[in-house]
Amino acid sequence: MAEKLDVLLKEKRVFKPSKNFVEQTNVKEWMNKHGIKTYDDLLEKSQDTEWFWEEMSKIFLEFYSPYKKVMEWKPPYVKWFTGAKYNIVHDALDKHAKGKNKSKLAYIWEGEPGDVEKYTYEELYHEVNRLANGLKSIGIKKGDHVGIYLPMIPALPIAMLACAKIGAIHAVVFSGFSAHALHERMVDCSAKAVITCDGFYRRGKTVPLKKQTDEAVANTPKIKNTIVFKRTGETVPWNAGKDLWWHELLEKQDDECETEKMDANDTIFVLYTSGTTGAPKGVLHSHAGYALGISATMSWVFDIKDDDVWWCAADVGWITGHSYIVYAPLMLGTTSVMYEGAPDTPKPDRWWEIIEKYKVSILYTSPTSIRMFMSFGEDWVEKHNLSSLRLLGSVGEPINPEAWIWYYKHIGNKKCQIMDTWWQTETGHHCITPLPITDLKPGSGTKPFPGVSADVFDDSGKPVKNAGGSLVLLKPWPGMLRGLYKAPERFQETYWKKYPKRYLTGDMARLDEDGYFWVQGRADDVLSIAGHRIGNSEVESALVSHPKVAEAAVIGRPSEIKGESIVAFVRLMKGVEESDDLKKELFNHVGEEIGKIARPEEIWFVKDLPKTRSGKIMRRVIKSKALGKEVGDTSTLANPEAVDEIKTIV
């Protein structure tokens, strides 16, 4: 039987951008130039994929030498701009440092204690060159892997750019990951060196990083050197002969360094992401295709103008940071804000203070953060003048309409459209996303980016309308992953086996009558209740829409009668009393929001929910604990202690 997901939550509100706003957008300007009148026309014309992406490349890429073919598709492998010589660092840095953006700020960085550093494009270029020369001086060459284990400090983008500049492949590991996680990734990619720092600031304390790095690289003979950036100045263990201070290594280096002319399809980086089973997957991206995808999406989705101040408040350790803190903003010559620390340090208005201080015009964050700010309350926001904001973004998980509306009202002051961008580590850049000219429906990522082609399939590979199914991408896009490092079978199996020549995203979605996509969450996060399939995230969204609920995680418990029954773990807003009456209220509330079928059989109040370092609630861990199964490795969780909050209920 065809797999169906009953989408019971129906969001009907539509938010249209103002005519004046639409008229001034980058995308509209391009449409006018090409005689394209409407959004639908744009989506249709851009399905001439090679024509469209070639047009885009004329705007965003400068090749060292011309390409032979725009795209070469030998499923499941794609190549873009074959035969060309290219390096993303030319577009991200070199051309700005020698051109009109020379004195423009690339980064305004604020440390958690309040220290500020600013880098112009020219300054950033010189720092990158010095490190690139430093790397060469210790024997790092084109094609070598370099691990980067750094917090949100300018050294992180500098390290990535320095690697890419000389053709070395960076493998950034999120600084919140454990020594074990770093070790595993460094061994997998055979890194020759690791770049880290002494420590960094988080919630008013210093977090040591060098110690953890030492632990991680203790049994990795391939790693010859550890380069250590001095951030906190704390005393660190030192291995003479192996460890090098960043500042000492750079002291004698020239601040010019020739950028390696790479093949357009050479790998730029590997980034590890978790799968449903087994070791993390090393997702591979390459220079020119990736560069084109990220710059085109950033320019059109976020409508970047010369005077914008952009803040993507993710961590560079994730794909969001790789694409939209480091490479894309630099390619567009944008000024970015970067912040080191916690959002509630010293107080829950730190973000709003930063936006006011630097006149941030575009903010890009995640639903988890938005819900956290909701639970802090509006008062913290209202203390600040956020009138510089003109556009907002969301990424990482489905945004529940309640959070969408709060973001729209309280952060955007009802004048900023919200770009709910759906994409993955594997896609490299936004794939399903509104443009600033799109009518928005809260909770929907709207339509594919021009040149991208998506659909929702049932189990037999037939397109389904207005019912849940598997989200698939129908043809290659520029930032498409080029494989999994050293795991070609897993690449084939994970993404290409179910529907040959179509990319399986692993997400469930619904396509509505207007062609809008509603992403429900991962395929393995779908409940089967009395023959109906319901997205866990839908029930969670309904719970969170209750004013007393801060966060919720929903799992399915095997039930003889219904297939599965719903169990919810709920964190309440500060100051709300737990009671049986409230449980009843929430039970009824879900019934009202979605339908009786989605009402949880049990609701448990918890103080915290186990989350990944990127803030995603770990339903799998919660489910294992609740069902009395092996929980497995919790070392990559942000708050492993929260697992104890989950009761075993069988």
Half-sphere exposure of 462 (CA within 13 A, CB side): 8
Pairing of strands 267-273, 105-110: unpaired
- Provide, rounded to whole angstroms, the least separation between the CB of residue 628 and ligand PRX: 27
Minimum CB–partner distance for residue 119 and ligand PRX (Å): 25
Q: What is the distance between the alpha carbons of residues 476 and 473, in angstroms, rounded to a whole number?
A: 8
Residues in contact with ligand PRX, total (CB under 6 A)? 20
Candidate segments 49-57, 125-133, 516-524, 546-554, binder of ligand PRX by CB under 6 A = 516-524
Query: Residue 162 or residue 526: which is nearer to ligand PRX going by CB?
Result: 526
Judged by CB under 6 A, does residue 445 bind ligand PRX?
A: yes
Q: Which is nearer to ligand PRX, 226 or 453 (CB)?
A: 453
| Amino acid at residue number 436 | P
Distance CA(326)–CA(545), nearest Å, equals 34
Q: Is 299 in the site for ligand PRX (CB under 6 A)?
A: no
Q: 123 or 538: whose CB is closer to ligand PRX? A: 538
Pick between residue 67 and residue 423 the one whose CB is nearest to ligand PRX.
423
Cβ-based nearer residue to ligand PRX, 94 or 426: 426
Which residues 135-194 are close enough to bind ligand PRX by CB under 6 A? none
DSSP 3-state assignment of 77? strand
Q: Closest distance between ligand PRX and the C-beta of residue 263, in Å?
A: 26
Phi, psi of 385 (to 5 degrees): -90, 105
Of 240-248, 459-467, 519-527, 549-557, the segment contacting ligand PRX by CB under 6 A is 519-527
Comparing CB distances to ligand PRX, the nearer of 132 and 621 is 621
CB of 525 to ligand PRX, least distance (A): 8
- Gap between the Cα atoms of 360 and 354, Å rounded: 8
User: Minimum distance from CB of 527 to ligand PRX (Å)?
Assistant: 16
CB 443 within 8 A of CB 434: no
Confirm or reject binding of residue 522 to ligand PRX (CB under 6 A). yes
- The strand pairing partners of 85, in sequence order, are 65, 263
Residue 224 CA from chain centroid, whole number = 31
- Residues with Cβ within 8 Å of 532's Cβ and at least 6 positions away in sequence, in order, are 6, 597
Residue 507 as a binder of ligand PRX (CB under 6 A): the answer is yes
Closest CB to ligand PRX among 9 and 140?
Answer: 9
Residues 459-498 that bind ligand PRX (CB under 6 A): none
Please identify which residue in 519, 566, 567, 606 interacts with ligand PRX, judged by CB under 6 A. Answer: 519
Buried b (16+ CB within 10 A) or exposed e, 638-649: eebebbebbeee
The answer to whether 275 and 325 have CB atoms below 8 angstroms apart is: no
Q: Which pair of tokens denotes residue 550?
A: 């801060």
Residue 232 or 320 with smaller CB distance to ligand PRX:
320
91 part of the interface to ligand PRX, by CB under 6 A: no
Minimum separation from the CB atom of position 466 to ligand PRX (A): 18
Of 236, 309, 319, 411, the residue at the interface with ligand PRX (CB under 6 A) is 319
Q: 592 CB contacts (<8 Å, ≥6 apart)?
A: none
Q: Residue 337 pairs with which residues in a beta bridge?
A: 108
CB of 520: closest distance to ligand PRX in angstroms? Answer: 8
Closest to ligand PRX by CB, 130 or 619: 619
Which residue's CB comes closest to ligand PRX? 425
| Contact between 422 and ligand PRX per CB under 6 A | yes
Taking the least distance from each CB to ligand PRX, the nearer of 196 and 541 is: 541
What three-state secondary structure class fits 617?
strand
Residue 26 is which amino acid?
Answer: N
Structure-token pair, residue 240: 């003479």
Asked whether the beta carbons of 392 and 417 are under 8 A apart, the reply is yes
Question: Does position 425 bind ligand PRX by CB under 6 A?
Answer: yes
Minimum Å gap between C-beta 522 and ligand PRX is 5
Bond from prior residue into 208 cis (ω within 30 degrees of 0): no
CB of 501 to ligand PRX, least distance (A): 20
Cα-flanking dihedrals φ and ψ of residue 36, to 5°?
-100, 125
CB of 427 to ligand PRX, least distance (A): 8
**CA 465 to each of CA 4, 385, 388: distance values in angstroms, whole numbers, following the listed order:** 10, 43, 40
**Both tokens assigned to 35:** 């005689």
Three-class secondary structure of residue 270 per DSSP: strand
Q: Any idea which residue has 């990736």 for tokens?
A: 290
Type of residue at 601: E
Near ligand PRX by CB under 6 A, which window of 257-265, 401-409, 434-442, 517-525? 517-525
Q: Select the residue interacting with ligand PRX from 421, 453, 494, 545 (CB under 6 A).
A: 421
Binding mask 205-244 for ligand PRX (x = CB under 6 A): ----------------------------------------
What span, in angstroms and rounded, lies between the C-alpha atoms of 132 and 125?
10
267 in contact with ligand PRX (CB under 6 A): no
Assigned token pair, 569: 């773990």
Q: Residue 554 Cβ, how far from ligand PRX at the closest point, in Å? A: 15
Cα 33 from Cα 58, distance rounded (Å):
14
Strand-pair category, 199-202 with 205-208: antiparallel
Per-residue binder mask for ligand PRX (CB under 6 A), 369-408, x = binder: --------------------------xxxx----------
Smallest separation, CB 596 to ligand PRX (Å): 26
Query: For ligand PRX, which stretch binds (CB under 6 A), given 95-103, 176-184, 231-239, 518-526?
Result: 518-526
* CB-nearer residue toward ligand PRX: 39 or 423: 423
| DSSP state, residue 175 | T
- Is residue 515 within 8 A of residue 447, CB to CB? The reply is yes
Burial class (CB in 10 A: 0-12, 13-18, 19+), 489: exposed
Grouping H, G, I as helix, E, B as strand and the rest as coil, residue 389 is coil
Counting contacts by CB under 6 A, is residue 424 touching ligand PRX?
yes
- Cβ of residue 425: shortest distance to ligand PRX, in angstroms? 3
DSSP 8-state assignment for residue 42: H
151 preceded by cis ω (within 30°)? no
The yes or no reply on residue 320 touching ligand PRX (CB under 6 A) is yes
Kindly tell me which of 151 and 396 has the beta carbon lying closer to ligand PRX. 396
Residue ranges that bind ligand PRX, judged by CB under 6 A: 273, 319-320, 395-398, 420-425, 445, 505-507, 519, 521-522
